[in-house]
Amino acid sequence: MTEFLGTEDTILFPSCMDANAGVFEAILTKDDVIISDRLVHASLVDGIRLCSAMHDTYKHSDMDHLEQKLQMFQDKGLRLVVTDGVFSMDGDAAKLDKMVELCEKYNAMLLVDDSHATGFIGKTGRGTHEKYGVMGKIDIITTTFGKALGGATGGCVSGRKEIVEMCRQRARPYLFSNTIAPVIIAGVLKVLEILSATTERRDKLEKNTEYWRKGLTEAGFILKEGDTPIVPIMLYNAKLAQDFSKALYDEGFYAIGFFFPVVPQGQARIRTQISAAHEIHHLDRALEAFTKVGKKFDILHKTKQEIIGKYGM
C-alpha cells in the first residue's frame, strides 16, 4: 500500500471504519483541533468523537470557510484538517491542491479518507492526491480494501512514518482487536499488482462514467456535479426516492434511494455507481430503464423547484 499510495509507511486495520476509529485518538490530545468538511463519512465522525481534541467544521468544500477556521485556531497545538477524497453521497472530489496549500500556509496537517478513490481516481488510480498532483503531500490517508481493491473488508492508515508509528503504539482497534485476515491481504496484494501493471480498468471506468453522466443529463435528470463514478440523481423527496428505486427494480435495476438521515433533509436521491465491468450495452439498457421510470414520475427536464413543487421535500 505504501508504494501504491506514494506514502512513507502503512498500518493495516480490519476495516477503514477501524482505521478511522483509531487514528485520531492515537495522534491528538485535548490541546489540538480537528477541522472537518461538513459532509465527511460517518466513520470519520465517529473516530473524531472518540478523541479528546476540539472539533469544528467548515462548509462543504468551501475553501474560504476552511481558511477562516484555520486562522481562528492558530493558538491550538496541532490543527488537523479532515476530508473525504471523493464524497460518498455526492460523488464530488475534495479540492486537495487548494487544501494542501492552505495546510502549508497555516501549519496544519491533512487527513484524507480516500475509500471512494483508491484504485481508480487519478491517472494511474492512486487516488484523489494523484488527481490533484499532491502525491507525497498528504500527511495521512485512510482507505478501505472493501471497495475498488475488492477485499470485501480491510483498511489502513498510510502516511508520515511517525504518524503510522504512533498508530502502532496507540490505536485501540489495532491494539485490542484481531488483525485483518491473511486471505484478504493475499487478495489485495494481487489486486495492487494488477492495478500497477495496467490502467486498463480505471480507463474503462472513466469512459463508462463519462458515458453514464452524459446519458443521464441528456435524458433530463438532475445530477450532482462531479466526474467520479458515484453519480447521484437528485429527487429531493424521500418517498419519491423509494418509489423510484422500486420502479427501477421492476425494470431489472437495483439502485437504492438515499434519504434523511443518510443525506440532509430534502436532498433525497438515487445513488448510481458505475463499474469497469459494465459494457456500453449495459449502460444503454440502464439508460432506457431510468428514462422510462423518469417519464413515469414526470421528473425529466424539470427544475429542482418543479420536482419539489410536485412531490414536496
Ligand X SMILES: Cc1ncc(COP(=O)(O)O)c(C=O)c1O
Question: Rule CB under 6 A: is residue 88 a binding residue for ligand X?
Answer: yes
Question: Rule CB under 6 A: is residue 116 a binding residue for ligand X?
Answer: yes
For ligand X, the closer of residues 42 and 280 by Cβ is: 42
Question: Rule CB under 6 A: is residue 17 a binding residue for ligand X?
Answer: yes
Candidate ranges 14-22, 98-106, 178-186, 201-209; the one touching ligand X (CB under 6 A): 14-22
Catalytic positions, written as ranges: 88, 116, 147
Residues 155-194 binding ligand X (CB under 6 A) are 155
CB 81 within 8 A of CB 100: no
Q: Under 8 Å CB-to-CB from 207, ≥6 apart: which residues? A: none
Length of the chain: 313
For ligand X, the closer of residues 83 and 209 by Cβ is: 83
Question: Rule CB under 6 A: is residue 90 a binding residue for ligand X?
Answer: no
Question: Rule CB under 6 A: is residue 41 a binding residue for ligand X?
Answer: yes
Closest of 42, 15, 36 to residue 258, by C-alpha:
42
Rounded to the nearest 5 degrees, what angle is found at the Cα of 127, between the Cα atoms of 133 and 88? Answer: 125
Residues 201-220 binding ligand X (CB under 6 A) are none
Q: Which long-range contacts (CB under 8 A, 24 or more apart) does 202-210 make?
A: 202/119, 202/120, 202/121, 202/124, 202/125, 202/276, 204/276, 205/120, 205/229, 205/274, 205/275, 205/276, 206/120, 208/274, 208/275, 208/276, 208/278, 208/280, 208/283, 209/274
Question: Rule CB under 6 A: is residue 15 a binding residue for ligand X?
Answer: yes
Candidate ranges 72-80, 110-118, 171-179, 276-284; the one touching ligand X (CB under 6 A): 110-118
Question: Rule CB under 6 A: is residue 115 a binding residue for ligand X?
Answer: yes
Query: Which position has the grid cell 491542491?
Result: 97
Query: Which of residues 25, 84, 92, 139 is near ligand X by CB under 6 A?
Result: 84
Query: Which of residues 61, 118, 128, 144 is near ligand X by CB under 6 A?
Result: 144
Q: How far is the CB of 20 from ligand X (least distance, A)?
A: 6
Q: How far is the CB of 45 from ligand X (least distance, A)?
A: 10
Candidate ranges 1-9, 108-116, 123-131, 253-261; the one touching ligand X (CB under 6 A): 108-116
Q: How far is the CB of 22 from ligand X (least distance, A)?
A: 12
How far is it, in rounded angstroms, from Cα 240 to Cα 198?
41
How far is it, in rounded angstroms, from Cα 82 to Cα 79?
10
Candidate ranges 109-117, 186-194, 225-233, 239-247; the one touching ligand X (CB under 6 A): 109-117
Instruction: Count residues binding ligand X (CB under 6 A).
Output: 13
Closest of 306, 311, 309, 240 to residue 269, by C-alpha:
240
CB atoms within 10 A of CB 298: 12
The amino acid present at 167, given as its one-letter code, is: C
Compose the 238-257 pattern: x for residues touching ligand X by CB under 6 A, - for all others.
Answer: --------------------
Q: Give the binding site for ligand X (CB under 6 A).
A: 15-17, 41, 43, 84, 88, 113, 115-116, 144, 146, 155
